[in-house]
Amino acid sequence: MENTAQLVQYILTGITIGAIYALVGLGYNIIYNVTEVINFAQGEFVVLGGLVMVFMTNTLHLSLPVGFFLSVGIVTILGALMDKLTIQPIKNATVLTLIIITIAVSIIFKGLAMLIWGRDPYTLPAFSKAPPFTLFHAIIQPQALWVLGITTVVVILLSLFFRYTMVGKAMLACADSPEASRLMGIPVQRMVLISFVLSAAIGAVAGIVITPISLMEYDRGALLGLKGFGASILGGLGSFSGAVIAGLILGLIESLCAGYVSSGYKDAVALIVLLLVLFIKPSGFFAGKRASLKKF
Amino acid sequence: MGYEKKKILCLILFLVIFPVLVNYIPAISNYLEVMIFAGIFCLVTIGLSLLMGYAGQISLGHAAFLGIGAYSSGILTTKFGLSPWLGILAGVALSSAIAVVVGIPSLKLKGHYLAMATLGFGEIVFIVFNEEVDLTGGPSGFADIPYLHIGSFEFTSELTYYILVWSVVLIGLFFALNLIHSRVGRAWKAIHGNELAAEAMGVPTSKYKLKIFVLSSIYASIAGSLYTHYICFLNPSSFDLFWSIKFVMMVIVGGMNSVWGAIIGTVLLTYLGNEWLTAFKHFDVLVYGFILLLITMFLPGGIVSLPEILKSKRTITR
């Protein structure tokens, strides 16, 4: 009985953190699809989302929905600024230059976070005051349900956006061929801006929902970013459904390894999976044909 | 090579005068020690600049090789009583073996994927340093690592270590310059220019990319061992991801397309980190970020490209 309870507990923890990896992975995919840039500052959006929300709730004492939307808004503005000030001005950039620029931005975000919030981890109150309940003898925090619920909502909204709105379709067109899209009158630069805005917003949401469970501090970004990238690579870079499935799997593997093998090497597991995927099948395992067409 | 010879002579002259200057100007009395660290980091960045500037590959995990060198010689000398010189050799052997194993699959990847793969590799090694407590002492590390010695002469004073480190740097620099001007160097440049074209012209690209990756890991490993036997204390914090990024930053700030750029960038950033930025305290991360961003956006050739830019501006205004 105790064993099943333990297993259920690990699976739930894994899915919860996996949802976050999925969201970060989605963020990579959105920017990559439009620009073929991997944004190394993706993890910082998560950290900033969490920390700005800490400021809204613990310092300004704003209510949950107001704080939530304000925090997402602020991080979104940062994402837009990142594109306007650092990505757009660079013409004919090499891949190496783009990598370095997004790394530089990630260092700046991290530096800002350290300056404002210091080195201590912060927590947030859970979204609902309901007490933890048990399922198959495993204890479930209501916040875990919030994480899963909000992730589901984000994924559904995103699919609707890309399938049914003009802007969403235009962004997918940019992904296929920026040249052809430009000829068709699609403002590619604006699409790039929207992609940064969307991924910053998604990152911020991820940060806000996970902070009550796993706390947040200024230097969490790199590892979250790497694991989220693991999700998007495992799922096939550019594939949205792939990133979601892969994120959940990555979270599960990590949580089960932490439970049954070694908690110290918990963080290494997702990275080893990332390396193995890159080495064996860099086009990913859960993507359709479209993603595998992209160049490596 | 004649032009390079002049630069080497200038560097040697500077290195000889520097300790004398430091000795007579009390305000910079601790600059000699900083210069030792700068020299150690120069070894890493000379190798990295060959990899980035000449072969056009990126590594965001080079602090791992510094760490492998450092821990190899640290552990072998402290726990197994081996001579530090053998420790350095063991570090080099281990680093190059790991570089081969990681390099063969990694270097098939390009651009972003290579960057992420090396980043992931560096982070995994960092986690190993933290978790293998029996060997590495975990996050708190271990101390009492012996100094380097020849016979009964120990490299304990700042001046002797300064001479030792910079002699190694000069050897490394000389070797790198020779490579650049050889068949191998031309092959790297061809790969950087256009990998497909290089392959078509008969350059075995994957072999050459692996060679430079291994070579740069050896540079980093030797640097790590020199670092260990100077501070005589080890913990994982010197080998984390931010250090890997700092090395890349040193190369870029100085100028990626020249090993001299690596040296200038490294010395500059080491003084920045150890002396000039200490007043900023918590700002330093932010300052690093802005330096890297501004240099990449507005001075992509790094500091070494400044004279040429100024020269061309002058001719335009004339």
Domain map of chain A by residue range?
2-293
Interface test with A, best of B127, B243, B282 (most A CBs within 10 A): B127
Interface test with A, best of B58, B100, B123, B191 (most A CBs within 10 A): B123
> What ranges in chain B are assigned the alpha helix state H?
2-24, 31-49, 62-80, 84-106, 111-131, 133-136, 158-180, 183-193, 195-200, 205-231, 241-254, 259-271, 284-298, 306-317
pLDDT tens for B112-143 read 888 899 999 999 999 999 998 888 888 888 88
**Chain pair A-B, CB pairs under 8 angstroms:** 123
Mean pLDDT, residues B214-233: 94
Among the listed residues B285, B256, B258, the one whose alpha carbon sits nearest the alpha carbon of residue B272: B285
Cβ–Cβ gap B127/A264 under 8 Å: yes
Among the listed residues A214, A222, A47, the one whose alpha carbon sits nearest the alpha carbon of residue A124: A214
Residue A273 has pLDDT above 60, yes or no: yes
Residue of A nearest to B248 (CA): A100
* Percent of chain A with pLDDT strictly greater than 90: 51
Q: Chain A residues with CB inside 8 Å of B60's CB?
A: 103
- Rounded to the nearest angstrom, the minimum Cα separation between B148 and chain A is 34
Residue B195 has pLDDT above 70, yes or no: yes
Which residue bears the tokens 């080195």? A119
Q: Both tokens of residue A110? A: 């991290």
Q: Chain A residues with CB inside 8 Å of B302's CB?
A: none
**Sequence ranges of the domains in chain B:** 2-317
Residue A69 has pLDDT above 90, yes or no: yes
Query: Across A176-185, A252-261, B215-224, B277-286, which has the greatest mean pLDDT?
Result: B215-224
Helices (H) and strands (E) in chain A, counts: 12, 2
Residue B70 has pLDDT above 70, yes or no: yes
Lowest mean pLDDT among B89-103, B121-135, B149-163: B149-163
Q: Using CB atoms, which residue from A103, A110, A271 is nearest to B120?
A: A271
Residue of A nearest to B249 (CA): A100
Would you state the pLDDT for residue B31? 86
Return residues 155-184 of B near A (CB < 8 Å).
none
Taking the CA atoms of B73, B74, B76 and B82 in sequence, report the sign of the dihedral they define: positive
- Rounded to the nearest angstrom, the minimum Cα separation between A127 and chain B is 32
Residue A296: which pLDDT band, with cuts at 50, 70 and 90?
very low
Longest C-alpha distance within chain B, in Å?
68
Residue A294 has pLDDT above 50, yes or no: no
Cβ–Cβ gap B289/A115 under 8 Å: no
d(CA B39, CA B223): 9
Residue of A nearest to B253 (CA): A100
Return residues 154-193 of A near B (CB < 8 Å).
none
Taking the CA atoms of A233, A236, A238 and A241 in sequence, report the sign of the dihedral they define: negative
Burial class (CB in 10 A: 0-12, 13-18, 19+), B2: exposed
Would you state the pLDDT for residue B294? 92
Q: Is B17 on the interface with A (CB under 8 A)?
A: no
CA A96 to chain CA mean position, Å: 23
Q: Is A223 on the interface with B (CB under 8 A)?
A: yes
What fold is seen in the domain B2-317? Answer: ABC transporter involved in vitamin B12 uptake, BtuC (1.10.3470)
Tell me the backbone φ, ψ of residue A285, rounded to 5 degrees: -110, -15
In single-letter form, the type of residue at position A16 comes to: T
Mean pLDDT, residues A156-178: 88
According to DSSP, residue B234 is labeled: B
Do B34 and B275 form a contact (C-beta atoms < 8 A)?
yes
Mean pLDDT, residues B95-99: 95
Q: Both tokens of residue A173? A: 């067109």
Mean pLDDT, residues A250-279: 90
Mean pLDDT, residues B238-260: 91
Q: Both tokens of residue B92? A: 């080099």
pLDDT tens for A77-119 read 999 999 999 988 887 778 888 889 999 999 999 999 999 998 8
Q: Is B101 on the interface with A (CB under 8 A)?
A: no
Mean pLDDT, residues B182-205: 83
Q: Chain B residues with CB inside 8 Å of A222's CB?
A: 119, 123, 241
Cβ–Cβ gap A274/B110 under 8 Å: no
Among the listed residues B166, B161, B158, B156, the one whose alpha carbon sits nearest the alpha carbon of residue B14: B166
Q: Is B277 on the interface with A (CB under 8 A)?
A: no
> B152 versus B13: which is more confidently predicted?
B13
Cα–Cα distances (Å) from A81 to A76, A86, A109, B289, in that order, read 9, 8, 12, 16
pLDDT tens for A252-266 read 999 999 888 888 888
Report the half-sphere exposure of A102 (CA within 13 A, side-chain side): 29
Cβ–Cβ gap B297/A90 under 8 Å: yes
d(CA A143, CA A145): 5
End-to-end CA distance of chain B: 32
> What ranges in B255-305 are assigned the alpha helix state H?
259-271, 284-298
Q: Is B52 on the interface with A (CB under 8 A)?
A: yes
Q: Using CB atoms, which residue from A86, A118, A282 is nearest to B113?
A: A282
Would you state the pLDDT for residue A241? 86
Q: Using CB atoms, which residue from A38, A100, A112 is nearest to B292?
A: A100
Residue A293 has pLDDT above 60, yes or no: no
- Rounded to the nearest angstrom, the minimum Cα separation between A222 and chain B is 8
According to DSSP, residue B1 is labeled: -
d(CA B306, CA A221): 34
Average pLDDT of the residues of chain B: 88
pTM of the model: 0.90
Residue A165: which pLDDT band, with cuts at 50, 70 and 90?
very high
Mean pLDDT, residues A159-171: 90
Average pLDDT of the residues of chain A: 88
Do B91 and B73 form a contact (C-beta atoms < 8 A)?
yes
CATH of domain A2-293: 1.10.3470
